[in-house]
Chain A
Amino acid sequence: MALMNSNIKNNMKSTILALISTLALSLSAQDISLGTIHYDRTTDYSRIIDELPYLSAEQKDLQKLTRGNRELRASPYILSYSPDQTIYTYGKEERESNWSWRKDEFLIIHDMAAGTLSKQYVLGGKLYLLEDEAPRLKWKIENDIREIAGYLCMKATTYDPVKGQDITAWFSDQIPVSAGPEGYYGLPGMILMIEVNNGTAVIEATKVDLDAEPYELPKKIKGKKRNQEEYVAQIEKFLKDCIEGERNPYWDLRY
């Protein structure tokens, strides 16, 4: 009986090892340092409102109550990556409604070779383009592991002092590119998931496509130029004004 048990165990063990090794093999067969990662982003506006400091506990509860269990809508994004550069932008959305909304230009280009970051953002109804050296992000490595889109990921956390957000990143060293979506990077592997403030916004990889054509950048990337210092000052002022004026900043600013 015990023998049989250990046999099964051994069998299982070998299956799993085989699984892992095929995973590794299939990875090594193709060049994993080039590809496109598809992400889904969900933003929970009810949680955003819950984070606003100027509302009373009753007002926060009232909006949660009114929203109820409304399902969050996921919007697709893509990250086209190579060892030198990543481009993060909207993915192709299969429209389910028969209504079309205006979409703002949105691109984040991280040039790892040059160490620069370019990011389009809309603030106060104007389109800006941040262009500067990519700042170093201070990541703390934690002990959790999980699988995302077929890749084993490790957990790292950081804090965004500009927007005051706790960021959790799940990265996989199986994709040896130190990059990620939504303007996050700087870990020993590709970031496959970002959680902002414990899940108020979640950007999660759904698929890693190694055969995809690289994303073609438009000839001119629009937006008023800003450097990192100006960007930080601008966002900080905007947030301060909004909070003071009791307006939700994230109806305008990307959360």
Chain B
Amino acid sequence: MIRLLFSLIILCSLANSSVFAQKNFDITGIVSDTTGEPLLSSTIMLLDTDSVYVDFSRSGPNGDFEFKKVKNGDYIIKITFVGMIPQHIPISSTGENIDLGVIKMTEIAEELMEIVVKAARAPISIRGDTIEYDATTFKVPEGSSVEDLLRKLPGMQIGQEGDITADGQDVTKVTVDGKEFFGGDPKAATKNLQAEAISKVQVYDTTTEEEEVTGQKDAGNQDKTLNLELKEEFKSGGFGKVIVGAGTEDRKELKGNFNRFNDKMQFSLIGVGNNTGRNGLSWDDYRGFMGSNSWNFNDGSDYGFGSGGGFIVRFGGGEDDGLENSLQDIFFSGNQTGFPEFLNGGVNFNYDHNKSKLSAYYFVNKKGLQRTTTSERETFLANDNALEESLNDSETDAIGHKAEFKWEQELDSLHTIKFTTRFAAVDNEGTFDGSSFSQFASENFPTNTTDYNNLNNTAGHLINGQILLRKKFKKNKRRRLGFNTSYQYSTVTELQDQMSLNEFFDQGVITSQQIINQNYDNLASKDLWKINGLYVEPISKKLTLQTFYNYSNRQEVGDRDVVDVNDNSETVNTFLTRDYENDITLNRIGTSLKYAHEGVNVSIGMAYQDFLLKGLYEGVSGSDLFGEVDNRYSNWIPNASINFSPLRNSWMSISYTVNAQEPSIRNLQPILDNSNPFYLREGNPELVPEISKSINSYLHFSRPMTGFRVYANLGYTSFTDQIITEETIDENLVTFIRPINYDGGSRFSLYSGITLPIKTNKLTIDLNIGGSSNNSFSIVNGVVNETKTTNLDPRIRLNITPSDKFALYLNTRYNRSAARYNINSNLDQNSSNFNYGVELNTDLVLGLKLNTDFNMNMYRNDRLGNDQNVPILNFSIYRQFLESNKGELRLSVFDAFNENISVGQFASNYFITRSNTTTLARYVMLSFTYNIKGMNSSNKKRRWH
């Protein structure tokens, strides 16, 4: 009741005041130029004292304007007219109307007006006596000084001696970002500073010391001050870190990277050394190293149908000497089993300015590896099985160098040229010692045994050069022409000392003994030429015709010298010593019609390809070892694809591709390769290319608001003339292998997943399933063996992230493979690998944080009667310190249970293998990180941003 009464009183008093005092007032005025001529249609804005826009009015024919019923208070009247200096008039009223009278507008100095209206489209700012230029809009040549820039500014004059005058007044002081530069000597700043660093130039009247004190303007003082505002560079920065760690078991790690960049140049260094088995290089490290060059995976590739049907000319499986590896292979290689030692380092430089792009890197990687593997292999024969047990000890040391230089130049807006050169060198050394033992499953004595001791030294280098040209056409930007040509030369020398003792048994009784002591000297070189062309012709707005041509020629020359060593005497081995020359030429021409409209992209095409394979194979003079291949294969290759987006945030594509893979020369040469006495190999000159026809489809759908996502990837491939092996295994378990063509193999694969957000950002579930089904053939001892392998790999993952302080990830994965053999269902086998993992990242007390991950791998194979569990627990406790978390001290325990072993399981159509490799197990490490930019302290795993 009292409150109501009170309100009533207030209401009454308010009503009263509005009756007795004016709440509003009117403003009137007339706008004219300096001569008194009225200005029609000038804009008059009513602003509050913070310059916030309230209302506006336009002057009428007599230059008159008015604002009616303006609320009482303080305001600014701002009057603008094209070509005139805007005027500000502060006003204040408590109810009385204001008449501003005649407001005279002054013209903007014509030089200024000229820039504003037509010259540089430069924003200029006029604040009282200050005129501000946007320096970035005045173009000066690269490397120009501020002085050169000032010459370009209207109203600014630079004398012979570098004296500056602005609007005829001397500039006596130059400041940078408002601060005096080198004692305020105007010339020092303008001559020494780079024009590129300046964002704004401001000129205003210099306030003298006296004026500062008195606050009075001295009419006699006409001096000007020039202020240069520095650019706030967005595209510049740098980061870097150092990690040093030492642990038990003599484990060490050292890693450092450093990076500097601005909008033109990028420079980076990286170095990693460790003996922990972890590669120590990540995707972020790759990006940090390569900078703006990170995405150029696919420079100057062989042109083809484009999306939905790539085409790659892969020439024969070269030996894995690392020579043709890319830099990405080094950065993205996984953890290494065994006992490795890494040393990697490199330097990269990129330059990108105007029309030139340049990038260069050098990278060296050194890897030492010591490894012991035990393995079992079971080969299925028609009426028995062969078992092999082996042990392999290896020690390898490899060093590789890579360097690349790229230069891209935009010749004009339509033409671009690009040069690339690459260089690589490798030097690998290794010793491989071991033994193996073979027997029939039905017997319990050996059929043969081997002890071997091999030394290997490989060294080689590669150079590659490429020129690429891109052309657009003026009339229609969709018309394009691309052309590239490349040359690559590589040479590899391999020296091997092979020593082995092979024993053959009959019913457990030794029947023969073979000692092999051979020295190999292999020299192989390769010349590869490629020419590729592409032309895109727009037919209509929606249709284009894309035509491509590929030519490649590879010439291989090899020289293998083998000598048998017998009690210090060396004799040439006439079976194994040989020379070869291969010449392989591909010509391919194709065209496709493409439709693109409203998010639907369809392509249908056809190509014709022609392979010419020539090979010559020769033993030492006098031996009858001689082989020749001269085959020509021509194929039509169709291709079709469709890509579209059926719903918002969805994507779907279906493609049909055909691939014709030519047989390798090695598979064509009708010569027996007896370098391994237990696996004899002979080529087949009747081979024709393997044709695979594939249908692939991909579907993706997401709801970004909730994080929901579903995707599926399905693929089916069927083979005609698939190249398979025909094997004959004799009573001594010596295998004779010959490649043949066979129709009927197929492959089906599926990969799909769904992410279900249960509670946004707190709890999500990822479900994933991968699967494949393979139908493959092999011929063992004259019997066709059809094998169906199915593989199913479901995974579930729970992401529990209630806050920044705590994150828990649970995952489980089950991988099951089943193989079914039509020759003998008794051989059917199921193997499985069950894995579960827990990952926990959380804050502890005293600023300490904990990372834990536990992984349990369980391997099962019902045929081998195998049951093996490998539980691995890693955890580390760390604390970040220093300003913005620049420092981190971490204590880590790896493999706390000391159980690490690497297990491999593999089932093919006629054999299965299993292997165990001893691998670095438990160790404790203390490491310190210093990051110059500071680290993220969130416990959540990083996402793509």
Contacts and interface: CB of A to CB of B under 8 A. Distances in A.
Interface of A: 9, 12-13, 16-17, 19-20, 23-24, 46-47, 49-50, 52, 54-70, 94-104, 122-127, 138-148, 152, 154-156, 173-174, 176, 186-189, 238, 241, 244-248, 251-252
B45 interface: yes
B801 to A, nearest CB: 8
Chain A CB within 10 Å, residue with most, of B78, B80, B600: B80
Contacts of A251: 704
B224 interface: no
Contacts of B295: 66
Given A173-B43, A187-B53, A245 B707 contact: yes
A13 B352 contact: no
A225 B261 CA distance: 47
A100 B597 contact: yes
Given A96-B478, A100-B601, A176-B58, A152 B538 contact: no
B558 interface: no
29 contacts: A9-B110, A13-B110, A20-B83, A23-B82, A56-B935, A57-B239, A58-B239, A59-B936, A61-B261, A64-B234, A64-B235, A64-B261, A65-B261, A66-B290, A96-B478, A97-B478, A99-B307, A102-B644, A122-B648, A140-B50, A141-B45, A142-B125, A145-B123, A145-B126, A146-B121, A146-B123, A176-B58, A188-B43, A247-B943
Contact of B705 (A12, A63, A123, A186): A123
Contacts of B933: 56-58, 61
Contacts of A98: 478, 536, 538, 544, 546, 594, 596
A107 to B, nearest CB: 16
**Most B CB within 10 A of own CB, among A46, A97, A189:** A97
A122 to B, nearest CB: 7
Nearest to B237: A61
Contacts of A64: 234-235, 237, 261
B794 interface: no
Contacts of B644: 102
Contact of A145 (B124, B350, B943): B124
Contacts of A103: 598-599
Contacts of B83: 16-17, 20
Most chain B CB inside 10 Å of its own CB: which residue of A49, A56, A95, A122? A56
Contact of B350 (A47, A68, A144): A68
Interface residues of B, number: 90
B58 to A, nearest CB: 7
Given A57-B934, A126-B648, A147 B116 contact: yes
Closest 5 CB pairs of A and B: A68-B292, A124-B705, A102-B599, A146-B123, A188-B56
A15 B264 CA distance: 41
Nearest to B76: A141
A64 B237 CA distance: 9
A188 B284 CA distance: 50
Contacts of A247: 704, 707, 943, 945
A104 B599 CA distance: 10
Contacts of A65: 237, 259, 261, 266, 287-288, 291-292
Contacts of B703: 124-125
Interface in B67-126: 78, 80, 82-83, 86, 110, 113-114, 116-118, 121-126
Nearest to A24: B82
Interface string B332-359: 0000000000000000001011000000
A125 B702 contact: yes
A69 B648 contact: no
B105 to A, nearest CB: 13
B246 to A, nearest CB: 25
A87 B721 CA distance: 62
If over half of B's interface residues share one DSSP class (helix, strand or loop), that class is named, otherwise mixed; here it is mixed
A110 B683 CA distance: 77
A124 B704 contact: yes
Nearest to A61: B237
Interface string B541-574: 1001010000000000000000000000000000
B761 A248 contact: no
B508 interface: no
A62 B124 contact: no
Nearest to A248: B945
A127 B291 CA distance: 37
Contacts of A63: 945
A208 to B, nearest CB: 15
Given A16-B114, A96-B478, A66 B287 contact: yes
Nearest to B599: A102
B477 A96 contact: yes
B13 interface: no
Given A60-B237, A102-B645, A146-B116, 20 more contacts: A19-B118, A50-B234, A61-B238, A64-B235, A66-B294, A68-B266, A68-B293, A69-B264, A69-B292, A95-B478, A98-B544, A101-B645, A102-B598, A123-B705, A141-B53, A145-B123, A152-B82, A173-B80, A246-B940, A248-B945
B185 interface: no
B127 interface: yes
Contacts of A50: 234
Nearest to B645: A102
Contact of A144 (B118, B124, B259): B124
A99 B601 CA distance: 7
A143 B121 contact: no
B117 A19 contact: yes
A16 B110 contact: yes
Contacts of B938: 54, 246
B53 A139 contact: yes
A174 B86 CA distance: 15
B822 interface: no
Q: Which of A16, A63, A145: most chain B Cβ within 10 A?
A: A145
A52 B945 contact: yes
Contacts of A54: 938
B514 interface: no
A141 B76 CA distance: 11
B679 to A, nearest CB: 47
A225 to B, nearest CB: 18
Given A98-B478, A147-B121, A246-B943, A69 B936 contact: no
Contacts of B538: 98
B160 to A, nearest CB: 19
